[in-house]
Chain A
Amino acid sequence: MTNMKKLYLALISICLATNVWAIDPISLEKQYVEVSKQPSLATRGEKFFTSKHGKEWSCATCHGMPPTKDGKHASTDKVISPLAPAYNNKRFTDEAKVNKWFKRNCNDVLNRECSALEKADVMAYLNSLK
C-alpha cells in the first residue's frame, strides 16, 4: 500500500469514528452539553418544553404533549410530524434544518435565542421519549 492510500484510509476511518458529517439526536445533545459545559437534564427539558416563556406559545403548543404524535401549527393548522426521534427517524438528522428551526421557534416562544443548555435539556427530554 502506498503512503497516500494509507493516509486516505486513516482519514476515512477518523471521519467514520467521529461522525463529522452526519448528525443524530444523541450526538446533537452531546454537542450542546459540550458547549454549555453542564450536564443535560431531561426533566428540566420537559418543563422548558411545556412552559410558556412570556409569550403566547410554548413548544408543546405546536408540537403536542408529549411530542410523539403529529402536532398542529398554532396559526396555520399545518400538520407537524412527531418531534421525538424515536417516533420519527428523520428528526435531528440535518444540522442546517435543526439550526433553522431552533432559531425561529426559540424566537417565537422566548423572544430570544435558546442557550446551549436549554437546547441540551430539550434534546435530553426528546431522546428520553421511547
Chain B
Amino acid sequence: MEYERTFAISASGMTLERTRVEMAALNLANANTVAGPDGNVYQPRRVVATRAFADAVTQGLSAPSMSLEVTQQAPRMVYEPGHPMANAKGFVAYASVDAATEMVSLMSAMRSYEANLAAMTTSRNLALKALEIGGNQ
C-alpha cells in the first residue's frame, strides 16, 4: 500500500460523510412538503455505502461507490381540514421525514467527517516527520 493511499482513504470517507450531510439537509428541507395533485409525496433518501465501498477505498479509488436509496414510507397524515390539499376526510399527506432521525444522522456525519480529517492530518504529519529521518545535513 503506497503511503499516498491513506490520503485517498480519508478523502473518500469525507466524501461519504459529506453526501450524508447533503442528504440529511435535503430531507429536512422537504420535511413539510405535501403530496402533489398526483398523490406522490416526497420520500426521504438514505445514503447507502456497502462492502463495495470498503473494497474501493482499500484499492485507493478516489470515487467511493455509494448509492442513494429512496425509502418507501407511508406519508404522514395530518388533520388539517382547511388545507387546499386536504382529502375528503380533511387529512393532508406530508412527507414522512423524521426530524430527530435527520438531526442525529447530521451530527454523526459531522463527527465522522472530523474523524476522517484527523486521520488525514495525522498521516500527513507522519509523512512529514518521516522526511526528517537523518536530520539536516
**Do the two chains bind?**
no
Q: Which A residues are within 8 Å of any B CB, using their own CB? A: none
